[in-house]
Amino acid sequence: MNELLLRRLGAVLCSLMLALALPGGSAWAAKKKAAPPPPRIVAFELEPPEKVAAGNELFFRVEGTPGARATVRVGGVSRTLVLQEVDDGVYEGAYVLRPRDRTGPHSAATATLRRNGRSSSSTLARLSVAPPAVAAAPIQPAPATRPALVLNRFVAVPVDKLEPGTELKFVAQGTPNAKATFSIENVATGIPMRETAPGRYEGTYTLRRLDRVVGGVPVVATLEGHGQVIRSNLTRNQMLVDARPPTIRNHHPRDGETVLATGPVSVSGTFDDRGGLGVDPKSVKISVGGRDVTPQASITREFFTYRGELAPGRYVADVTARDAAGNPVHSAWTFHVEQQPTAAIGLPLAITSHTPNATVPAGSRVTVRGKTAPLATIDAEVVGVASVVGRIGTAERLVSERITADADGDFRFDIPAQMPVPGMRYEINVKASGNNESKDTRLVLFQQG
């Protein structure tokens, strides 16, 4: 009996000594097995902006481990951009630069993936890249050097529905004088794209009865040249079907603003259906102070304007509309109308040369005139916004200057001539300062055509 107990005790002691001899014992092995690998970033891309300036959009794309939290930090920007996972392991997000951002072409951007308490990062050294080599090249370039093939953008012109007979249109931008094609998964491959301008390629495909195409079907552009091949997928935020509602911007009067009843009051706004099919003018409904004023308003795909006599009081402007794909939008805001006082109170400011949403000639200089207090300081800023159907809109500061009104309070400034761009609008901000007072006003003009 004692011998049996001694044998069992010896076996227990041997097992204990063996466990102690291992590094950390069984707990160490379990911990090692449970430790998850860090997330992995396969690619970090930035869609090169036309200009790193306020109003322009930075579009980021990260590919890596799925199911992670993806963020981007940009030098000179205080906030952190959180990307959305649009596909397994594919994260996308955009940020519109603001005037207070201290960001330039040489600012860096860092992407970070976090998952299960672990993270990994990737950094882009600068926000802008040199444009494709289209200028003069060396007379005798070295045989080993080849210009890098670039495919900056691949987008689709959205349609309202996918059915036989619908024409799908695609646009790619990249290195000029290359061979461009696109393919639609399980439908068609190697469809040629025509170079309509240096570095701009366009292609179309008409859906057939037996084609099985849905909004998120993979579409890939291919660019070949200089012995290289590069591809780009149609991103999820550029799906074939227009599913995003438009927005109503540039309210006039602004929300909460008080206007003086010196004549007809203008109530207006602009429609912005970025990348979509545009607003259907027949769907627009406008009410001011509870009264339907749609029949008396001027309505286009880009804006609406109503002008009428309004008695002093509080008004609610209410606007509804749908784009060509049926996506709805609704906007309501309030403003006040007051009777013109016998004596002017406060700093006067008005733009006298144009009414809201007026059209101006394309390709010509535009002169803006206004009235304020004598010798007041005027800060004028004009941003040009192109909103082309099927493409991401671009914004560029065209005017930023300080001038002084003359002895009669008159002032003027010029918007330089711009190339004709469909849907181009000028967003004008004017601020007057004088006698320890300031006042600002806003106006939107549209290019003809």
Do 249 and 267 share a domain, yes or no? yes
| Tokens encoding 431 | 């601020």
Residue 132 has pLDDT above 50, yes or no: no
Helices 2-21 and 25-34, axial angle in degrees (round to 10): 40
CATH code of the domain in which 64 resides:
2.60.40.1930
Domain-located, residue 5: no
From 215, 238, 261, give the residue that closes a domain: 238
How buried is 100 (Cβ within 10 angstroms: 0-12 exposed, 13-18 middle, 19+ buried)? exposed
Positive or negative, the CA dihedral 418, 382, 353, 371 is negative
Domain-located, residue 86: yes
Do 297 and 227 share a domain, yes or no? no
| Tokens encoding 413 | 């400034």
CATH code of the domain in which 300 resides:
2.60.40.1220
Domain-located, residue 13: no
pLDDT at residue 394, rounded to an integer: 60
Domain-located, residue 143: no
Number of domains in the chain: 4
Higher pLDDT, 143 or 48: 48
From 343, 361, 384, give the residue that closes a domain: 343
pLDDT at residue 54, rounded to an integer: 81
CATH code of the domain in which 227 resides:
2.60.40
Domain-located, residue 14: no
pLDDT at residue 35, rounded to an integer: 62
Higher pLDDT, 408 or 226: 408
Provide the 10 A C-beta neighbour count for residue 86. 15
Higher pLDDT, 161 or 327: 327
pLDDT digits (tens, 9 = 90+) for 69-88: 889 898 888 888 888 776 67
Domain-located, residue 139: no
pLDDT at residue 178, rounded to an integer: 92
Do 111 and 180 share a domain, yes or no? no
Q: What is the mean pLDDT of residues 436-446?
A: 88
Positive or negative, the CA dihedral 220, 221, 226, 227 is positive
CATH code of the domain in which 449 resides:
2.60.40.10
Domain-located, residue 102: yes
Do 93 and 62 share a domain, yes or no? yes
CA distance 446 to 360: 6
pLDDT at residue 275, rounded to an integer: 64
pTM of the model: 0.49
Do 190 and 288 share a domain, yes or no? no
Q: What is the mean pLDDT of residues 400-419?
A: 90
Do 292 and 325 share a domain, yes or no? yes
Residue 201 has pLDDT above 50, yes or no: yes
Do 381 and 446 share a domain, yes or no? yes
Do 115 and 162 share a domain, yes or no? no
From 178, 211, 238, give the residue that closes a domain: 238
Do 189 and 258 share a domain, yes or no? no
pLDDT digits (tens, 9 = 90+) for 152-194: 888 887 777 778 888 888 888 888 999 999 998 888 889 999 9
| Tokens encoding 159 | 């349609």
What are the φ/ψ torsions at residue 20 (nearest 5 degrees)? -70, -30
Owning domain of residue 407: 346-449
Do 362 and 401 share a domain, yes or no? yes
Residue 133 has pLDDT above 50, yes or no: no
Do 339 and 254 share a domain, yes or no? yes
Do 105 and 156 share a domain, yes or no? no
Domain-located, residue 370: yes
Contacts of 216 (CB under 8 A, 6+ apart): 236, 239
